[in-house]
Structure 1
Amino acid sequence: MRSILVVNCGSSSIKYQLIDAADERMLATGLIERIGENIGLSRHRSATEAATTEAATTEAATTEAGATEAATVTADEAVEHVSRLPIADHTAGFAAMLAAFRKHGPDLDQMPPVAIGHRVVHGGERFVEPTLIDERVRREIDLLSSLAPLHNPPNLAGIHAAQVTFPNLPHVAVFDTAFHHSLSPAAYSYAIDARLAADHGVRRYGFHGTSHKFVSEAAAAFLDRSLEQTNTIVLHLGNGASACAVKGGRSVETSMGMTPLEGLVMGTRSGDIDPAVLFHLHRKAGLGIEQLDTLLNRSSGLLGMAGTGDMRDVLAAAAVGDPAAVNALEVYLHRLKAYVGAYYAQLGRVDAIVFTAGVGENNALIRGRALAGLESLGVRIDSRRNEDASREIRRISADDSAVAVLVVPTNEELEIARQTLSVVEAPGRAVSDPGYD
């Protein structure tokens, strides 16, 4: 078995998937969380372990290491093993992950992956493709932390811990911003002093790139169209949300900017806002820079307007007439429809509008209302298809819709695995080469 281990490290978590490099099957998935707290949590599911009805619920047991373990069968009938144990840092987190692989499979000691793929949020202007990680690359990712202070430092901590855990394997960084390197200067430039912008890296970078790339390519394949001849508007709607106009497989416009704050209304982020609002709140409300940063990134969006950042709760409250929830929903949809219209104008011709991520894949009401009234643009939703709860890629537009409307489940881990494999299998490079200076 040749596999790729994909990891996504946050400040207190490690998400991971083991993916078969040959047939792209998910072999195992898991989450290490509450890193640095008194008791951490390890969740692991292995596709190679047969689920049985007897494993549906097991009583917690205490191991010699002081961890408690339990197993439950999840909705997709895979056994999820949960352990509670101290996890001091990311290196300890990777040790807990390896322990879960040894106990529940596949055993990475017996069948190590051929490479480790790392999600890194911000690649700046330097990193425009998947990149083999060496000391120089680590330094540059660290320097880019000024552009993504909440994301790049934990991504880097995960890289260090993974390289300690797997010192003889190649490690590849896949950057959220890389897909958007094809933006034109007209699309990525802010209209401020050009020298000041250049000196401090002020421009639009865009994010969710691995998702937008995966989804736009999957949509073209589903429609049996050449990627180079397909124009797509991708709506990645989750707690974080972004829109992307993809022309012939290349990003030509995207809603997030220098940071993931710009663009659509999100769970806790404001999205687009007049910058003068910040000056006003500083002068009138006495808010400092850190307070304003927290306001826009963590206390705004749906949370700020409706009191909850979870779209399901907003919809439930709006359904019973809560005025704050109703207004939050209307603002969310108004902004979303505005971006669809703007990107339609930028592309000139649209072959497909695609919904993806948690809200986009699972919420028929949002999909239907976001595109309502666009019939003159050739967009017609079939309400029955839209209500289909399938987890597969599907068409939800009517047969006479000139623009196809699709739901495409995103798979960023698979995209990272594909890009990681492309690096380690590049001509002239041996897979066993650790890739360090």
Structure 2
Amino acid sequence: MSNKYVLVINSGSSSLKFAVIDSQTGEAALTGLGECFGLEDSRMSWKYQGNKQEVSIVGEENHHQLAVKKLVDIVNEYNLTNDVIAIGHRIVHGGEKFTKTVQIDQQVLKDIESVKELAPLHAPANVIGIKAALEAFPSLPQFAVFDTAFHQTMPPKAYTGAIDKKLYDEYAIRRYGFHGTSHYFVSREAAKMINKPVDECSFISVHLGNGASVCAIKDGKSVDTSMGFTPLAGLMMGTRCGDLDPGIIEFLINKGWSAEKVFDTLNKKSGFLGVSGLTSDARGVLEAMEEGHEGAKLAFQVFTYRVAKYIGSYMVALDNLDGIIFTGGIGENSLPIRSEILNYLKIFGYKENAQADADARFGEEGIITTEDSPVAMVIPTNEEFVIAQESVALMK
């Protein structure tokens, strides 16, 4: 075993993902997931050297606490304890306070708690995960890596909302953006692929998964991104609506809807699920579309059209474009969705290499356009690797 292993913890609102990552290679010695916290079927599964195990998480305590306790047992069981040199936490929202990775102390913990209004679903869970890990691993240095940090290089023209300036001054309402760790990672890998220094590269990074966002990257830095003050803005997603006329909110409230019902619908019952009427999973939508389901067909069309529109609009933010990067669960694996998006981009000269596109799936990377086309590529993301690397870099 290497002594460069970092335990990466991603504590979500009802889940806890974890991995023990080699900070030099990005390979995972152990991966796991605790899910359905707060429900009767709360459980935890993990994989070590190809072997998968699962247990139920039952108890009076907070399930995040129980999951971290079980995680300690798992790390000890596989004799990984002495090989782990740090713990890295994925933190969804850093507000304007955090522009880079920081080592966690009591002040940092307070500062993370202070921006919880900006991410009410994720921030409390992030804090619970940190506190549980500090208690479980008191001797290890722990670091916070922020999803919003990469986007802190956006210029004011990109992050400023066209609203009363008092709303920014008093409440810090602006565009923050998310998926920053993913966009950061794939842009660095893309620069290697085209053999060019990253600070001389410009990309449009397209992270498509249950959550989805586009990022314009100029000279290696984020200059615009589609998610906003919250992760609800931008692209249509699995269950989130993406961009929407805010007048609809007033209309529904005037119809007697509560604010809670409105935002529950926009966050959890929209996107693929809402448009198709079937499922939030892109694979299910594609299967139903092949069987002739009209709702699934429309969901496919709305999603691909909106992604292509965002890509086209983000060319405005750049002086040149070295490539479009597809990543995330859908971006890495869904051939029909990538093909349709490239088809919409024909006006810009994009031509799909069908065989290369088919080959660049299920963990494989590659350029998926023809030689006489501008470049589009697929790069599998590895956010855990970034968190591990940044944690070790700060230790040094």
Q: C-alpha displacement at 1:304, in angstroms?
A: 1.0
The residue aligned with 1:305 is 275
Q: Does 1:92 align with 2:94?
A: no
Q: Does 1:357 align with 2:359?
A: no
What is the DSSP-based 3-state SS (H/G/I as helix, E as strand, rest coil) of the residue aligned with 2:6?
strand
Partner Cα distance (1:156, 1:183) in 2: 27
Identity of aligned residues (%): 41
What is the DSSP-based 3-state SS (H/G/I as helix, E as strand, rest coil) of the residue aligned with 1:273?
coil
What is the DSSP-based 3-state SS (H/G/I as helix, E as strand, rest coil) of the residue aligned with 2:115?
helix
What is the DSSP-based 3-state SS (H/G/I as helix, E as strand, rest coil) of the residue aligned with 1:379?
coil
Residues 348 and 252 from structure 1, CA distance in 2 versus in 1: closer, same or farther, beyond 3 angstroms?
same
Q: Does 1:288 align with 2:273?
A: no
The residue aligned with 2:25 is 23
TM-score (norm 1): 0.86
One-letter code of the match for 1:408? I
Residues 303 and 40 from structure 1, CA distance in 2 versus in 1: closer, same or farther, beyond 3 angstroms?
closer
Q: C-alpha displacement at 1:36, in angstroms?
A: 4.4
Partner Cα distance (1:262, 1:194) in 2: 20
The residue aligned with 2:364 is 392
Q: Does 1:382 align with 2:348?
A: no
Superimposed CA distance per residue, residues 208-264 of structure 1 (whole angstroms, 9 cap, x where no aligned partner): 000000011111111111111211011100000000011111001100000000000
Give the conservation status (yes or no) of the 8 Å contact 1:354–1:405. yes
One-letter code of the match for 1:278? I
Consecutive unaligned residues in structure 2, runs of 5 or more: none
Superimposed CA distance per residue, residues 250-294 of structure 1 (whole angstroms, 9 cap, x where no aligned partner): 0011000000000000011000011111111111x2112111111
Q: Does 1:318 align with 2:265?
A: no
Give the conservation status (yes or no) of the 8 Å contact 1:17–1:27. yes
What is the DSSP-based 3-state SS (H/G/I as helix, E as strand, rest coil) of the residue aligned with 1:372?
helix
Give the conservation status (yes or no) of the 8 Å contact 1:40–1:85. yes
1:60-75 matches, within 5 Å, as none
Partner Cα distance (1:34, 1:248) in 2: 41
Moved more, 241-250 or 387-396: 387-396
Q: C-alpha displacement at 1:38, in angstroms?
A: 5.0
Residues 25 and 316 from structure 1, CA distance in 2 versus in 1: closer, same or farther, beyond 3 angstroms?
closer
The residue aligned with 2:80 is 107
The residue aligned with 1:75 is none
What is the DSSP-based 3-state SS (H/G/I as helix, E as strand, rest coil) of the residue aligned with 1:6?
strand
Moved more, 160-169 or 82-91: 82-91
Moved more, 360-369 or 81-90: 81-90
Give the conservation status (yes or no) of the 8 Å contact 1:32–1:97. no
Partner Cα distance (1:17, 1:396) in 2: 30
RMSD value, Cα: 1.5
Q: Which one has a larger percent helix, Structure 1 or Structure 2?
A: 2
The residue aligned with 2:381 is 410
Q: C-alpha displacement at 1:13, in angstroms?
A: 2.2
Residues 5 and 143 from structure 1, CA distance in 2 versus in 1: closer, same or farther, beyond 3 angstroms?
same
Give the conservation status (yes or no) of the 8 Å contact 2:305–2:344. no
Superimposed CA distance per residue, residues 15-72 of structure 1 (whole angstroms, 9 cap, x where no aligned partner): 111112343321111112344455642322223xxxxxxxxxxxxxxxxxxxxxxxxx
Give the conservation status (yes or no) of the 8 Å contact 1:42–1:97. no
The residue aligned with 1:5 is 7
What is the DSSP-based 3-state SS (H/G/I as helix, E as strand, rest coil) of the residue aligned with 2:84?
coil
The residue aligned with 2:48 is 46
TM-score (norm 2): 0.95
Give the conservation status (yes or no) of the 8 Å contact 2:23–2:385. no
Q: Give the greater-gyration-radius structure (CA).
A: 1
Q: C-alpha displacement at 1:390, in angstroms?
A: 4.7
How many positions carry a matched residue from both structures?
390
Partner Cα distance (1:216, 1:17) in 2: 22
Partner Cα distance (1:249, 1:131) in 2: 21
